Amino acid sequence: MSGWGRFWVKMHHSRTGEVVVAVCDEELLGKRIVTDNGLEIKVDNSFYGGVLVEGENVIRYIEQATIVNLLGDRIVGMLMNKGLIREGSASRVGGIMHVQMFY
């Protein structure tokens, strides 16, 4: 296992040609996240639960995307470390780092 751990990755293809890649830290799938204002979000298998990918191998999926949705401190931290996203682009959802990117 890599130092970054594993990530769930799912690719979605829209009718308009967009390729949405959703990635979350392995341990988040199926969890419920409660935001500061009490909103509850489920990290759902239908959106994130595609394939389980080891560490930096996730980048090959992200490179195919026109829209990327990242959820998790490890995935966001890894991509910041690699210089693929800026630190200021992340927000926190229920204390967990989240990034959406559009290409």
Q: Where are the domains of the chain?
A: 6-102
Q: What is the pLDDT of residue 36?
A: 87
- Percent of the chain residues past pLDDT 90, beyond the cut: 89
Q: What mean pLDDT value characterizes the chain?
A: 95
pLDDT at 29 over 80: yes
- Pull the structure tokens for residue 51: 């394939």
The CATH code belonging to domain 6-102 is 3.30.1860.10
pLDDT at 1 over 90: no
Q: What are the pLDDT digits (tens) for 34-74?
A: 998 889 999 999 999 999 999 999 999 999 999 999 999 99
Query: Are 98 and 73 contacting, i.e. CB atoms less than 8 angstroms apart?
Result: no
Distance from C-alpha of 16 to C-alpha of 38, rounded to nearest angstrom:
34
